[in-house]
Amino acid sequence: MSVTVVLDPAARLPFVSPIVLVNVAEEQGNKDVKLNYAVNEGPAATLADGRRVEGGLAVLQALTALYAPLGLAGSDAERGAVDAFVVQSDTLAAAPFQEATQRADDLDQHLALRTYLVGHRVTAADVAIWGAIRSSSPLLGIIKKQAHTHLARWYAHLDALPAFSSAVAAMAQAKSNMFKEKKTAAGFDLFLKGAKEGEVVTRFPPEPSGYLHVGHAKAAILNQYFAQAYKGKLVVRFDDTNPSKEKQEFEDSILEDLKLLGITGDVVTHTSDYFAQLRDLAVRLIKQGDAYADDTPQEEMRAQRMDGLPSKRRDASVEENLARFDEMCRGTDEGCQWCLRAKMSVDNPNKAMRDPVIYRCNVDTPHARTGTTWKVYPTYDFCCPVVDSLEGITHALRTNEYHDRNPQYQWFLEKLGLRHVDIWDYGRLNFVYTLLSKRKLQWFVDHGVVAGWDDPRFPTVRGIRRRGMTIETIRQFILSQGPSQQIVNMEWDNVWALNKRLLDPVVPRYVALDEAKLVPATLANAPPAEERQVPRHKKNPELGTKTTVFDAAIFIEQADAASFGDNEEITLMDWGNAIVRKKHLAADGSVAALDLEANLDGDFKATKKKVTWLAQPNATRHLTPVVLEDFDYLITKKKLEEDDKFTDFLSPQTRFTTEALADANVAALAEGDAIQFERKGYFILDQVQGPNGRRVFIRIPDGRAASSASKAAPDENPAEKKAAAAAARAKKAAEKAEKAKQKEAKKAAGGGRAGKPATDAVQELIDEGTRKVNMYSLPVVNERTDTQPQTKMYHVRPIM
């Protein structure tokens, strides 16, 4: 049986000495040790006889004994010294700075006339002390200062040996693999209580009353993540208990959006599959005296719950409650006056425990799946824990807005004798200037403020995808949030910046110019007109080529033309340089036309202005008319308070359009294609045939603060921001001036050396030497002095 060593690559300064010993042994043909890496485990070793040793020192001692025949323990005479250094390494790694400095002094003296700590070859002593230094921040800092010449020489020599350098590389690779394979699991695992591989069952339970938004996406992705991480199962369950709000359209769209997100449940179920069982369990609660029927008016009931007052129906008999619940189930006029409440508490400080409603009547709207079979429907508070238990869910993931309902959840399971389910709370995902309430989003749809649930201004999965966000961005962003339970209002620029990083390397580049602000320009001395094939993306040849027309008659945008100076040399992007010879101005002062002179081989690095351009169309070539759309947030307040009416904060204008002319290549794009218009930003083709036959491109935010800021909301605290910026600039200028002053002072001190006495030069030489050598100090000798026959130079204090 071979020896197995387990090391933790996640340690702040990983323990690499065992890897070095294994490498040295393998150089000599011994491959008896197997290395494993595991987070939060080790150092530990399982020996050939089955014994397990734990801790860095124990592992080093075991390997030293194993490799003694290879010379790593030194000769018989050296064995004691090697063992002593190995033991010393265990405390060296954790030594505080003052102690570490003293130990460094001792090691430096010991190595003054030695290449290795013991003997004339690498032993476990060198490996152990070297590894301890690598695990000690104070010692690494001391060596970097180069004050301990001999210690630094020895350390650098070992660092360069293949067995040592490859050990460091192996640990780095293990650490990299750990992050690739479990990028977020390490944080999540701490909170997923009792999870066992192959047994975890999670569920994503959307209500089919609207489209998925980014908040739902987080829930879906986290549930899928845990199910896959533990090789378990994901249940997609539609919580279809309110027929008044639910539609088959929403259920179909949710399944489609989940598929787009790469999420497919191992099984798709409905709460309505369990209506009969839920009714029977409600009857059981009544018979146990744990539920009662109540006809208190809704507003009065709400007030009683807030004030901790009991309902007058709370002490009704079991027979009365069963009779009234039967009336409810039959949907009679009398039954519709009642609801069923769990008999938990009247005045519990946690108001979620104050006799919540668990059943209510709905006889007017047929259910999408069960039709008119049922007249009563369970509330989410009741059916959620019950169905979770019935379906074998092991871990129920819920946003922490439900945290107060967790005791309620467990109450139902205990009263009904159902299987326990662990609850895992996580922070709800909110964004500034963004509404996630389905009721409020429905208002925008109903009032025609947006075109539908897939409007680019909506935070629905379809909306943000239509605006150009990739599925990979959504997944990466949500997983990168980790297991935080804190509810924060995220800035959109974070997620759009991630989206840009994913888009930039893979989207082709084209040119579009504002059609209302085109300036014709004539390029003198230009070569004959021609068409060339140029890369769609200069850094990604896999995207292929596009056709670009080069001609003396071109268009430039007004803003660029107005900025040109007389005889200024500019760069026409992807072509060459040109000199502005004349600007023809219109009556309003704008530029009507430009006369340019070609200097195509000029130095583009020397020009300050690089501008986009398009060859003017003619009978044989054309430009593509397009519409460029941009959007603002639907509301002007970053975060709405509980008392705020969202309709008081509606943005006055949320859609902005610009008609433009683009190069002919964009005519071949398909809907959904993402591109970059040079110097304008990233866009996605939304409609091939939009208004007036133009192609419609939607601007994709790039994560910069300017593109993510509200266009309608006033800048918050502008004076404060300006003052802070001015203070930061002043501080930076003061620091720069102080550095310059110190530099001048140092220069002046060095410049006066020639006029000083010779003894100063000697002292300077001494000072320089003592800074570099910490072994001994040299006294200044200015006169004839009798030298003692014994000096401290060769008096070395034993390190042991």
- 3-class state of residue 765 by DSSP: helix
pLDDT bracket for residue 417 (50, 70, 90): very high
Model confidence band, residue 625 (pLDDT cutoffs 50, 70, 90):
very high
Residue 208 CA to residue 205 CA, distance in Å, equals 9
The reported pLDDT for the residue numbered 754 is 43
Quote the tokens at residue 190. Answer: 């701490």
Say what the pTM is. 0.65
| CATH classification number, 512-623, choose in 1.10.8.590, 2.40.240.10, 3.40.50.1370, 3.40.640.10 | 2.40.240.10
pLDDT of residue 591: 96
Catalytic residue among 203, 405, 428, 509: 428
pLDDT in the model for residue 6 = 85
CA neighbor of 205 nearest in space, from 229, 176, 235: 235
Q: Is the pLDDT confidence value at 99 over 70?
A: yes
Which secondary structure element, helix H or strand E, spans residue 384, and what is its range? helix 380-390
What percent of the chain lies above the pLDDT cut of 90?
A: 62
| Amino acid code (one letter) for 315 | D
pLDDT greater at residue 511 or residue 167? 511
Q: What is the pLDDT of residue 575?
A: 96
Helices of type H across 539-683: 558-563
**What's the CATH number for 3-181?**
1.20.1050.130
Q: Where in the chain is the domain with CATH 3.90.800.10?
A: 273-382
754 vs 507, residue with greater confidence = 507
Distance of alpha carbon 194 from alpha carbon 423, whole angstroms: 11
pLDDT of amino acid 500: 94
- Of the two residues 711 and 249, the one the predictor is more confident about is 249
**For residue 753, what pLDDT is reported?**
43
Residues of the chain with CATH 2.40.240.10: 512-623
Q: Which is the catalytic residue, given 207, 251, 515, 629?
A: 207
- Better-scored residue on pLDDT, 39 or 632: 632
CA dist 458 and 788 (Å) reads 89
Question: Percent of the chain scored above 70 by pLDDT?
Answer: 87
Spatial distance between the Cα atoms of 173 and 176, rounded to a whole number of angstroms: 5
Contacts of 679 (CB under 8 A, 6+ apart): 611, 612
Residue pair 430/482 in contact by the 8 Å Cβ criterion: no
Which CATH architecture fits 273-382? Alpha-Beta Complex (3.90)
pLDDT tens for 233-259 read 999 999 999 999 999 999 999 999 999
The residue annotated as part of the active site, out of 237, 438, 466, 546, is 438
Band of residue 28 on the pLDDT scale cut at 50, 70, 90: confident
207 catalytically annotated = yes
Dist CA 462 CA 627 (whole Å): 21
Q: Is there a catalytic annotation at residue 438? A: yes
Mean predicted lDDT score pLDDT of the chain: 87
Question: In this model, does residue 502 exceed pLDDT 90?
Answer: yes
pLDDT for res 752 = 45
| Tokens representing residue 392 in the block | 């074998």
d(Cα 97, Cα 289) in Å, to the nearest integer? 68
Q: Is 582 a catalytic residue?
A: no
Sheet bearing 3-7, strands edge to edge: 33-37, 3-7, 44-46, 52-54
Q: What does the pLDDT read at residue 725?
A: 60
pLDDT of residue 425: 86
- In the predicted model, is pLDDT for residue 772 greater than 70? no
Query: Tens of pLDDT along 256-293?
Result: 999 988 899 999 999 999 999 999 999 999 999 999 99
Distance of CA 21 to the CA centre of its chain: 38
Summarize pLDDT for 136-190 with one digit per residue, the tens. 878 888 888 878 999 999 999 998 899 998 888 888 787 766 655 444 444 455 4
Residue 186 has what pLDDT?
40
Give the per-residue pLDDT at 788: 55
Q: Which two tokens stand for residue 495?
A: 């997620």
Q: Which residue has the higher pLDDT, 704 or 440?
A: 440
In the chain, where does the domain assigned CATH 1.20.1050.130 lie?
3-181
